Structures are given as C-alpha cells and as structure tokens.
Amino acid sequence: MTTSEATTNGDTSRSVSVKDVAAAAGVSVGTVSNVLNRPEKVSPATLEHVQQVIGRLGFVRNDAARQLRAGTNRAIGMVVLDVRNPFFTDIARGVELRLAEHRRPLILGSSDQDAERESTYLDLFEEQRVSGLLITPVGKVLPRLRRLRERGTAVVVVDRRTGSREFSSVAVDDVRGGRLAAQHLLESGRRRIAFIGGPRGLTQIKHRLHAAQEEVDAVDGARLRFVETGTMDADAGRRGAEDLLAGPDRPDAIFAANDLVALGVLQALTLAGVRVPEDVAIIGFDDIDFAASAAIPLSSVRQPRAEMGRAAIDLLLAAIDDPAAQVRDIVLEPELVVRRSTG
C-alpha cells in the first residue's frame, strides 16, 4: 500500500507519494528514500536533482504514518509543576533546542502542582506512545513511570532526585542551596527568619527548609518559622507575607521557596511600607531573570537551568537509544547571588 503524502499546501486530494517523486525524477523509490533518510548515501548531483523534484511536486513526508508503523512517536513529553514559572520554561527551552538538533518535537504540559492534572498528562503521553518523558513529579508517580517505561517510554526526573535507582534524574543540590540562603541571612545579622513556600511534602522544599533549619539551629538566638503555601507563585508570596505582617512575630528576613514567591513577598512588604532590606531582608531561589530586574533587585540561589535542561534531555535520549543505559542522578551546584534585597 502506498503511503500517500500531503502536498505542501495540505491538499491531500492530490497527495504526492514517494513513487510519484521517483517517477518524475527518473530514479528508484529506494533512491528517493535515501535522499530523505540517508542523504550521505546519494551522489550530490542526484541529491540536488531529487530535492528539486520534491520541491516542485510539493512532497511532504508523512511522519505520522511512519511512526504508526514503528509503534512509537518521536515526540518527547514534558510535565512541569508550573509553566508560568520561568524556572521551568528556561529548562524547557534548553530541552527544546537540543531536541531540534534531533528533529524531535516537544509536548509541554503543566501539572500546576495538581496530581490529577499530572495524571491526565501521563495518560495523554501513554496514549501518544511518546519516546520519552521528562517530569517534575507532584504526586507519587513511580508506579505510573514504571508502566510508561514498560510500554517503551524512557523517563527522566527533573528538578528532583528520585533516589529510586530506577530513573535517572537531574536536580540542583537543594540541601546546599538551603544552607547557602540561611547562612547568608544569618551572616548579615538576621535572627528571626521566615521560610515561605510549599507544600512541605515536595522534596525540593523539604530539603531546602530542613537545611535552613539546621543552619538556624546552630546560631544562638536565631529562629526559623515555616509559612506553608499550596502553590509557589507570587500570590502565595503576597499572602504569606501579609499573614506574617498581620501577626505579632514579625520576621527580619524571609527565605522564599523560589523567586516567584519572593517577588510576591517583595510587593506585599513594599505596599505595607516595610523597608527592604533595612526592616526585612528577602532571598529567593532559582535566580530567574526577573530576580535581577525587580524594583529592589532580589538576592537568590541560582539554579543552572540551561545546564539542567541539556543534561536531562541528553540522559533521556541515551535511555531512548538504550533502555539498559546506566541510571544516573546528576546533582548540580547552586550558587548564591547577592543583590540589594539582602543588603
């Protein structure tokens, strides 16, 4: 059966097939296939001639049909916690650039930290038989990831270490990042520190908070208070800061779970007439571009996002090529970036 090919203007009524191109070019179907898939096997003169005929006839390969025959989809699925957070879109950008080199499309979804939404995307990617999946998990997804892998989808976890030894992961050292932020606030004389952001059960938050708590516990007279939020966006930061300002125990420093939360904290303090950093210092996490360009430039703990994206997709492509490829946990170094918001 000839797989019919759509013409470039999408008119499938007169779709052009590989056979049509071969006949018009006066070459075999095998030669046309080589021009499309293995151009290095074709002489330059024949390559140019066949490519001209392809352009003139408006032939477009039907990759969907080829993938249907192969049983897998060349696309890569990616589920992040919040697609509005530049931290994740910066990572996705690194992934997309690498995939373009491999002619693979990226399908990006946002769980919005909701386990149901996350599951809907996993269903979609399973139905689509995507070749690979990058995921920053919300819920307990290990059983789902195992099933995806059994059905031929490679999986890499991003922004969180799994410790499962079943799936590779790429993340920053969140414990080190939590220490850097807390040490910086303590060294600048802050003693009443609030950590805003959550949920507490999210591995990244658990590690940052626990490390900060250890640093605070080691300093006489210092204390840390955790203000848990359901999401990690600017609204959560605003609400968390407003609650703190309304309470009796005002902090002299706020460690925000990420920069979006920190930007919300900064807005709430500024609107309440609280001076930053004089009255309250603020530090975030990720060092997204908005941190440096905030009205009061934000100190933050930088995550190497582009490097994270490249490392994640390289691990995934390796696992697609060889399902028995070694499972690796890549842990990247965070970096303290000091700006005006901590003085």
Residues that bind ligand RIB (CB under 6 A): 81, 85, 87, 136, 159, 202, 204, 232, 258, 285-286
Q: Give the residue among 311, 313, 190, 207 at the shortest CA–CA distance from 252.
A: 190
Of 131 and 229, CB closest to ligand RIB: 229
CA–CA distance, 299 with 222 (Å, rounded to integer): 20
> Minimum CB separation from ligand RIB for residue 71, in Å?
33
User: Closer to ligand RIB at the Cβ: 35 or 180?
Assistant: 180
How far is residue 258's CA from residue 286's CA, in Å, rounded to a whole number? 6
Instruction: Report the distance separating Cα 236 and Cα 249, nearest Å.
Output: 19
Cβ-based nearer residue to ligand RIB, 81 or 312 = 81
- Please name which of 277, 285, 259 lies closest in space to residue 176, comparing C-alpha atoms: 285
The whole-angstrom separation of Cα 96 and Cα 332 is: 20
Tokens at 269, concatenated: 């303090």
C-beta closer to ligand RIB: residue 96 or 159: 159
Task: Collapse the DSSP code of 285 into the 3-class scheme (helix H, G, I; strand E, B; otherwise coil) and give the result.
Answer: coil
Query: 136 or 169, CB closer to ligand RIB?
Result: 136
Which is closer to ligand RIB, CB of 27 or CB of 122?
122
Quote the least distance from Cβ 159 to ligand RIB, whole Å. 5
CB nearer to ligand RIB: give 15 or 85: 85
> Is residue 224 within 8 Å of 193, Cβ to Cβ?
yes
Q: State in angstroms the smallest separation of the CB of 80 from ligand RIB.
A: 8
Least spacing, CB of residue 250 vs ligand RIB, in Å: 25
Residue 299's DSSP bridge partners are: 283
Name the minimum Å distance from CB 257 to ligand RIB: 6
Cβ nearer to ligand RIB, comparing 131 with 299: 299
* Minimal distance, residue 200 CB to ligand RIB, in Å: 12
ω into residue 277 within 30 of 0, thus cis?
yes
Helix (H) or strand (E) holding 243: helix 234-246
Q: 103 burial class (0-12, 13-18, 19+ CB within 10 angstroms)?
A: exposed
Peptide bond into 304 cis (omega under 30): no
CB of 95 to ligand RIB, least distance (A): 16
For ligand RIB, the nearest residue by Cβ is: 258
Nearest to 291 by CA among 336, 253, 333: 336
Task: Determine the 3-state secondary structure of 95 from DSSP.
Answer: helix
The CB-of-303 to ligand RIB minimum distance in angstroms stands at: 6
